[in-house]
Amino acid sequence: MDFNTSLILPILIALWVVRMLRQFLSLPLRAPRLSRQLDWIWVPGAALLALSFFLKSDLFDEAYLVFVLSVIGLVLLRTQDYRPARTLLLGLAPYALYSLIELLVALVGKTLLKSYDEVFDTSQGFAVIWLFTFGLIARNQKKHLEQERLEREREIEDKRRIEAENSQLERMVAERTATLTRQAQELQHTLDELKTTQDQLIQSEKMASLGELTAGIAHEIQNPLNFVTNFSDVSAELVQELLEEQQRPDRDPDLEAELLNDLKQNLEKIHHHGQRAASIVRGMLEHSRQSTGERQATDLNNLADEYLRLAYHGLRAKNKAFNATINTFFDPAVGSIQAVGQDLGRVLLNLFTNAFYAVQKRQEAQGAGFVPTVSVVTRRTGAGDVEIRVKDNGTGIPEEVQQKIFQPFFTTKPTGEGTGLGLSLSYDIVTKGHSGTIEVESTEGQGTEFIVTLPG
C-alpha cells in the first residue's frame, strides 16, 4: 500500500485559509458557532488521507479542494449580510465552478481532461485572477467598513461626552436655579410685585445673568425691609412696656412720656424706610416702563438750562449750605431737535444730579478750600449730530467700575442714597429711545464727564 502524501499540503492550506477567513470575517463575533465548526475542516482530508492507504487515486486532493471551497462558500453565504463576504463569494464562484468541473471531467476520464488541457489551464488562470481581484476589493471594503465603524464609535463617544457635559451643565443650572429660588423667597410679598417688571429689566446688554439681577434687587430692597421689621419689633416691645406701666397703681408719667416718644421715633423710622422701599419699587416700575410719547421739536438748550437749575435747587433744598459754580455754554447752532422732551429731560436731570452729588462729596472730603464746579456744554458736531457734555470736578469714578455704571442697580453711592437705576434708565432712553450714544470719561479723584450724542 502506498501513502498519498499530496493531501498533507491541502489540509495545511485549508487550516491556514480557515484561520484567515475567521480573521477577515470576524467569525468568532459574527458567527461563533460556525467558527467552532470550522475547526473540523481537516477531518475529511484526514479521512481521504487514510483512504489513500487502500485506494490509489489522484483525485483525492481535488475532491478535498472542492470540499474546502464548498465549505468556504457556505460560510460566505451564511455571512452575506457583511459586504466583503458577498464580494469574496462572487470572487470565489468561478474558481469553485472550475474546480468542480475539473473534478467531474477527471471522474469521467483523464483522457478527456488532457484533451482540453489548455482550456482548463486558461480557465484556471482566469479564475485565479478573478479571485485575487475580488479578494483585493473585499479587503478594501473591509478597510472602508472598519473606518466607518471607527468613525461611528468616535461619533458615539463624542455624543456620550456631549451628553455628559450637558448633564453636568444641567446640574449646574439646577443648582444655580435653586440658589436663585432661595434668594427670591427672601423677598416675600415685595418680590411678587417686582416680578411683573422683570421682563423689561432683563436686558442682555446690561446684565450678565438673571442671578445678578435678582441679587441686586434683593440687596437694594432688603435693607429697608430689615429696618421696618426691626423697628416694628422694638415698637411692639415699647407698647407692651407702656401697657404694663399704665396698669401699675403708681404710674410714672415721665417713663410713659419717654416710651411714647421712643415709639413716635420708631414709627417715623418705619415710615422713612417704608418710603425707601416704595421708592425702589417705583424706580423699577419707571425703569421698565416704555415711553409712549411722540417725538416733537425740542429746544435742547432751554431743556438743558431748565433741568440744570432744577437739579441744583433740588440739592440746595436738602443742603442749604451747599453752593457750586455752574459754567454753561449753549451753542445757538444746536437749535431744536426731534426728541421726547420728558424722557430727555429725565436723562439730563439724572446727569446733573449725579454731577452735583459728586462735587458735594468731594467738598465734604476736602473742606472749604475746594470749589465745586459743574459745566454743561451743548454743540452741533461736524457730522450734524448734537452733543451734550456734563462735566464735574467731583470724586470721579474708578476705572474698574466705569463699564458697569449703566447696569441696573449698580451704584457707587452708599446704601440708601441711590437705587442704581438712574444711569441705566438714561442709557435706554438715549440709545434705544433716541438712537444716540452716551459715554463716560472719568479720572478718580479729579472728576467725570458724560457725553451724550443725539441725531440732529
Residues of the chain falling short of pLDDT 50: 1-3, 198-220, 283-290, 416
Instruction: For residues 354 and 439, give the distance between their C-alpha atoms in angstroms, rounded to a whole number.
Output: 15
Contact present, 359 and 319 (Cβ < 8 Å): no
Classify the C-alpha dihedral 242-244-247-252 as positive or negative.
negative
pLDDT at residue 61, as a whole number: 67
Longest CA–CA separation in the chain, Å: 151
pLDDT at residue 58, as a whole number: 63
State the Cα torsion 312-313-318-321 to the nearest 10°: 80
Which DSSP letter does residue 209 get? -
Instruction: For residues 221 and 409, give the distance between their C-alpha atoms in angstroms, rounded to a whole number.
Output: 11
The b-or-e profile of 260-272 (16+ CB within 10 A means b, else e) is eebbeebeebbee
Locate 82 and state its grid cell. 457583511
pLDDT at residue 219, as a whole number: 46
φ and ψ of 322, to 5 deg: -80, 135
Contact present, 298 and 246 (Cβ < 8 Å): no
Among 120, 119, 124, smallest CA distance to 95 is for 124
Q: Express each pLDDT in 196-224 by its tens digit.
A: 654 444 344 334 333 333 434 444 466 66
Distances (CA, A) of 374 to 18, 170, 251, 448: 98, 51, 59, 10
pLDDT at residue 374, as a whole number: 93
Contact present, 373 and 380 (Cβ < 8 Å): no
pLDDT at residue 137, as a whole number: 84
CATH 1.20.210.10 fits 296-454, yes or no: no
pTM equals 0.40
pLDDT at residue 203, as a whole number: 41
Instruction: For residues 368 and 41, give the distance between their C-alpha atoms in angstroms, rounded to a whole number.
Output: 113
What's the number of CA atoms in the CB half-sphere (13 Å) around residue 161? 6
Which DSSP letter does residue 393 get? -
pLDDT at residue 172, as a whole number: 86
Classify the C-alpha dihedral 278-280-281-282 as positive or negative.
positive
What's the number of CA atoms in the CB half-sphere (13 Å) around residue 282? 7
Q: Is 332 exposed, middle or buried (0-12, 13-18, 19+ CB in 10 A)?
A: exposed
**Which segments of the chain belong to CATH 3.30.565.10?**
296-454
Q: Alpha helix locations (H) across 52-116?
A: 60-78, 83-108, 110-115
Instruction: For residues 440 and 430, give the distance between their C-alpha atoms in angstroms, rounded to a whole number.
Output: 13
